[in-house]
């Protein structure tokens, strides 16, 4: 079964994008959040990427909730 990128249903902060990315790559969500802050401080591209991801990423279906 292929892995799919969903918004997190467990790690909820703001729009749960960072938690979903962390679950997909099987890393700690704090690392993803720190990377987002770094991208935001280095030119602001992180803000745009986060907004786009929040709009595009689907919510996790109920049958996949942990």
What is the CA 34 to chain-centroid distance, rounded?
12
Give the pLDDT confidence of 15-29 residue by residue, as tens digits: 778 888 888 898 988
Q: Model pTM?
A: 0.73
What pLDDT digit, counting tens, does each position of 27-50 carry? 988 898 888 888 888 888 888 888
Q: Tell me the sheet residues that pair with 7.
A: 59
CA 36/CA 52 separation, integer angstroms: 13
Burial of 49 (0-12, 13-18, 19+ CB in 10 A): middle
The candidate with the shortest Cα–Cα distance to 14, out of 43, 62, 44, 57, is 57
């Amino acid at each position: 079964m292929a892995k799919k990128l969903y918004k997190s249903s467990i790690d909820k902060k703001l729009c749960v994008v960072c938690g979903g990315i962390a679950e997909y790559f099987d890393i700690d969500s704090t690392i993803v959040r720190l990377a987002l802050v770094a991208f935001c401080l280095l030119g602001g591209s992180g803000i745009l990427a986060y907004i786009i991801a929040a709009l595009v990423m689907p919510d996790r279906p109920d049958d996949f909730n942990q």
